[in-house]
Amino acid sequence: MAEIQRYKVIESHKGFEVRDYEPHTLVTKPMQGTMGSASYSAFGYLAGYIGGENENRQQIAMTAPVLQKKSASGFDVSFVMPHDLVNAPKPIRSGMSVERVEGGLMAAKRFSGAATDRLFESKAQALIKELEAAGFQAVGDVQYARYNGPWTPPVLRRNEVLVAIKRI
């Protein structure tokens, strides 16, 4: 079983959780296209990175979730690095980046199904409405999180929409 990105559930609300995420490192590859095509195209770059295509030729364990967020030209697709890998090696393939994220409060809405643009967008819109009704405001871009591989039946997949929040 892959390591899961670390967080603590602070509050549970109808339809979402408030979580406090630990600091973590992301390796990201920007891609053009739809959510599905961007994810598919980026996976080879990111899998190559954790398979040793980095400056240290270091193999790195796969973790979950795989994160995506919209960008001007498509989607940024990210692998979360294992929690004990604070200084991730630089990628050797162009167009990839390593970023240390401080963590913090995020809202998470969990659901199952095939990862489509339409499904994630509808869940993101629902989360934003639920946040406002509960006295929270989104303060960043919505991220899409997928925890399972494509071989997992859609009904059994764990997906989430995530967004940084603050109380209103």
pLDDT at 118 over 80: yes
- The domains located in the chain, with CATH, are 3-21+103-167 (no CATH), 25-101 (3.20.80.10)
**Cβ contacts of residue 154 below 8 Å, gap of 6+?**
112, 113, 114
Nearest to 4 by CA among 123, 95, 108: 108
Q: Residues 42-53: what's their mean pLDDT?
A: 98
Q: How far apart are CA 92 and CA 52, in angstroms?
A: 9
Per-residue confidence band for 160, with pLDDT thresholds at 50, 70 and 90: very high
Task: Tell me if the pTM is above 0.75.
Answer: yes
pLDDT at 150 over 90: no
Beta partners for 20?
A: 8, 105
Which backbone phi and psi does 120 adopt, to 5 degrees? -65, -40
